[in-house]
Structure 1
Amino acid sequence: MIIYNETLSIDDSIHDEWLVWIKEHIPQVLATGKFEKATLTKVLVDEEMGGQTYSIQYRSYSREALDAYYREDADRLRRLGMEKFADKMLAFRTELQIEDEYTVSFK
Structure 2
Amino acid sequence: MLIYNVTTNVEEDVHDEWVEWMKNIHIPAMSQTGKFKKATMSRVDVVESMGGITYSVQYRVEDKATLERYFEEDFEQMKKQTKLFEGKFVSFRTEMEIVHEQ
TM-score, normalising length: structure 2: 0.94
Q: Paired residue for 1:101? A: 101
Whether 2:10 is the aligned partner of 1:10: answer: yes
Shift of 1:27: 0.9
Distance 1:94 1:9 in 2: 15
Q: CA RMSD in A?
A: 1.1
Residue correspondences, number: 101
Distance 2:20 2:62 in 1: 27
Stretches of structure 1 lacking an aligned partner (at least 5 in a row): 103-107
What letter is aligned with 2:2? Answer: I
Stretches of structure 2 lacking an aligned partner (at least 5 in a row): none
Percent pairwise identity: 45
Distance 1:7 1:32, change over 3 A: same
DSSP 3-state at the match of 1:87: coil
Distance 2:40 2:67 in 1: 16
Q: Deviations over 1:24-81 (max 9, x none)?
A: 2101101101010000000012553311000000000211110100000011101211
Distance 1:48 1:12 in 2: 12
TM superposition outliers: structure 1 runs of 4+ over 6 Å: none
Q: Paired residue for 2:35? A: 34
